[in-house]
Amino acid sequence: MEFSGCFGTNKIKLNFCIWLFIYNSQENSFQLFGSKCHEKYFFLFSTIFSTHTYMIGKFFAKKLITQNRKLYDKIARQFADTRTFLWDDLKPLADYVQNGERVLDVACGSGRLYQLFEKKQVRYTGVDYSKELIKIAKEEYPKAQFFVRDMKKLKFPEKSFDTIFCIAAFQHIPTEEFRMQTLLEMRKVLKPGGKIIFLNWNLFSTWAADKYKKFAFESQEFMIPWRGAGGEEIGKRYYHGFLPEELEHLFGEAGFSLEDQYYVKKGERSTKEKAENIISIATLPRGNEK
């Protein structure tokens, strides 16, 4: 749906919010708009909210996070069954962790990253906002430590961890404000000289662009469906398609120094057109931990 000429410089931001309002009503998340009457009320709400795009954006960002969490609770067992092994892209990352270190796995899901450290003497902790996924993680990896936590509020003492991993999860955080909040929370619990290691989907490879473009509502924003075993849609998850320069900017603003960043496919460095994921490795410089 296209709306033009109503919002001046705030047009894109408000279009984003109104689209989400309609999307959530169709998913029966709440009932402010009916699926057949949203156009009738559009100009009313554009008049009321045109000067409050920041507030609306934050409100709907929270709704998206809640929607993702509820979906992961719903599909926890099916999701865990698709994440029983380590992707090839993850295996080389074990080299960044040394024996005796404390590792935090942010948005750990069902805990499969624990496999990466089974041959190392590390103290692993996993956190996820899905209580159902954490239940599965505790069953699968009883020697590890797991907690139900929001990545924006980790609730650990400062300077607790040597390395923080965030695998295919930062992409679920809407808005730059919440992404920065997440990075600053990681910085707080990371030891000086420690590393953060991220993997995000490359949504702009040739195959991904073809597969997911129909789910985009802005150039870097996607609502991608999760389907059951029979192909039926169970729900949609929000994704942000990161570009390398965007990630580098975020890390820098949060006080990290980017050490390495590359496109990767099957464990080998690749190109934007071919890669499945983006790996980012950043360090918290000593003296910059506050």
Tell me the two tokens of residue 175: 């808005």
Q: Return d(Cα 249, Cα 240) in angstroms, integer.
A: 15
For β-strands 221-227 and 257-265, DSSP reports them as unpaired
Largest CA distance in the chain: 62
Q: Where are the domains of the chain?
A: 8-66, 78-283
Q: Which fold has domain 78-283?
A: Rossmann fold (3.40.50)
pLDDT over 80 at 86, yes or no: yes
Task: Please give the pLDDT value at position 59.
Answer: 87
Please compute the mean of the pLDDT values over residues 166-179 and round it to a whole number: 97
124 close to 112: Cβ distance less than 8 angstroms: no
For 190-223, what is each residue's pLDDT tens digit? 999 999 999 999 999 999 989 998 898 888 999 9
What pLDDT score was predicted for residue 219? 84
Separation in Å, CA 258 to CA 146, 185, 229: 28, 17, 40
Report how far residue 56's alpha carbon sits from residue 62's, in angstroms, rounded to the nearest whole number.
10
User: Could you tell me how far CA 33 lies from the centroid of its own chain?
Assistant: 28
Q: HSE on the CB side for 119, CA within 13 Å?
A: 4
Tens-digit pLDDT profile for residues 3-37: 333 333 333 343 444 444 444 434 433 333 333 33
Does the pLDDT value for residue 2 go beyond 60? Answer: no
Residue position matching structure tokens 């990352």: 93
Q: How many whole angstroms separate alpha carbon 148 and alpha carbon 132?
A: 9
- Does residue 259 register a pLDDT over 60? yes
User: Where does the pLDDT of residue 150 fall: very low under 50, low under 70, confident under 90, or very high at 90 and above?
Assistant: very high
Interval 235-260 mean pLDDT? 98
Looking at every residue in the chain, the average pLDDT score rounds to 85
- Using left for φ > 0, alpha for ψ between -120 and 50, and beta otherwise, residue 85 falls in beta
- Residue 36: helix, strand or coil by DSSP? coil
pLDDT at residue 265, rounded to an integer: 98
Using pLDDT thresholds of 50, 70 and 90, give the confidence band for residue 46: very low
User: Edge to edge, what strands does the sheet with 221-227 contain?
Assistant: 216-218, 221-227, 233-240
Averaged pLDDT for residues 48-60 = 56
- With 70 as the cut, is the pLDDT of residue 179 above it? yes
- Going from the C-alpha of 187 to that of each of 38, 116, 123, 163, 287, the distances in angstroms are 42, 23, 19, 11, 12
Q: What end-to-end distance do the CA atoms of the chain give, in Å?
A: 45
Q: pLDDT at residue 129 above 50?
A: yes
Rounded CA separation 23/164 (Å): 34
pLDDT digits (tens, 9 = 90+) for 92-115: 999 999 999 999 999 999 999 999
Confidence of residue 290 (pLDDT cuts 50, 70, 90): low
44: confidence class by pLDDT, cuts 50, 70, 90: very low
Mean pLDDT, residues 218-241:
93
The three-point CA angle 168-172-175 to 5° equals: 135
Residue 177 CB partners (closer than 8 Å, separation 6+):
58, 61
Q: What is the mean pLDDT of residues 248-262?
A: 98
